[in-house]
Amino acid sequence: MSLPAPACGAQHFPRTDPAVIMLVVRGDRCLLGHSTRFPNVTMYSTLAGFVEPGESLEEAVRREVAEETGVEVGAVHYHSSQPWPFPSSIMLGFHAEGLSDAITIDPEELRDARWFSIDEMRNHQAHGFALPRADSIARRLIEDWMAQQ
């Protein structure tokens, strides 16, 4: 929706920045990270990042995962989306295939990242960590993956 400016009549088009959010899976394990920005000190979530100009969504998934964890990604499949009001973003959700196991975190982005087994995910509280909020796309990516295991 464009909004006319009252005095000059110019139209303004609100900006929406695309961001990718992805659950990386390797066998019966998934990769989650603990961000330096998470208010919950035990929460682990999917990885995410903004799409760069001229970059495909699949390229953004691979780049973000590699930058944040050093994990190489193969196949990338679209899952769903969620509007994200801050900072005027749309979250585009993906499931991605992890091709490597070794993790090298970017300490400016993450405090920790780990591969979690399906058992750990289903019993996350017993294993000492929390998952993202139930109404988030991150949780939907996780729950849908767990339902297929």
Interval 97-136: pLDDT, tens: 999 999 999 999 999 999 999 999 999 999 999 999 999 9
Indicate whether 2 belongs to any domain.
Answer: no
Distance (Å, rounded) from C-alpha 19 to C-alpha 29? 24
Q: What is the pLDDT of residue 5?
A: 52
| Residue-number span of the structural domain to which 87 is assigned | 14-140
Q: What is the pLDDT of residue 2?
A: 54
Indicate whether 3 belongs to any domain.
Answer: no
Indicate whether 104 belongs to any domain.
Answer: yes
Indicate whether 29 belongs to any domain.
Answer: yes
Indicate whether 149 belongs to any domain.
Answer: no
Name the pTM for this structure: 0.89
- Give the model confidence (pLDDT) of 5-16 as tens digits: 567 777 777 778
- Look at the alpha carbons of 20, 21, 23, 24 in this order and tell me if their dihedral is positive or negative: positive
Average pLDDT on 25-44 reads 94
Q: How many domains would you assign to the chain? A: 1
Indicate whether 81 belongs to any domain.
Answer: yes
Tell me the CATH number at 33.
3.90.79.10
Whether the CB-CB separation of 132 and 46 falls below 8 Å is answered with yes
Indicate whether 7 belongs to any domain.
Answer: no
Whether the CB-CB separation of 149 and 59 falls below 8 Å is answered with no
Whether the CB-CB separation of 142 and 23 falls below 8 Å is answered with yes
Indicate whether 58 belongs to any domain.
Answer: yes
Distance (Å, rounded) from C-alpha 116 to C-alpha 95? 15
Distance (Å, rounded) from C-alpha 24 to C-alpha 126? 22
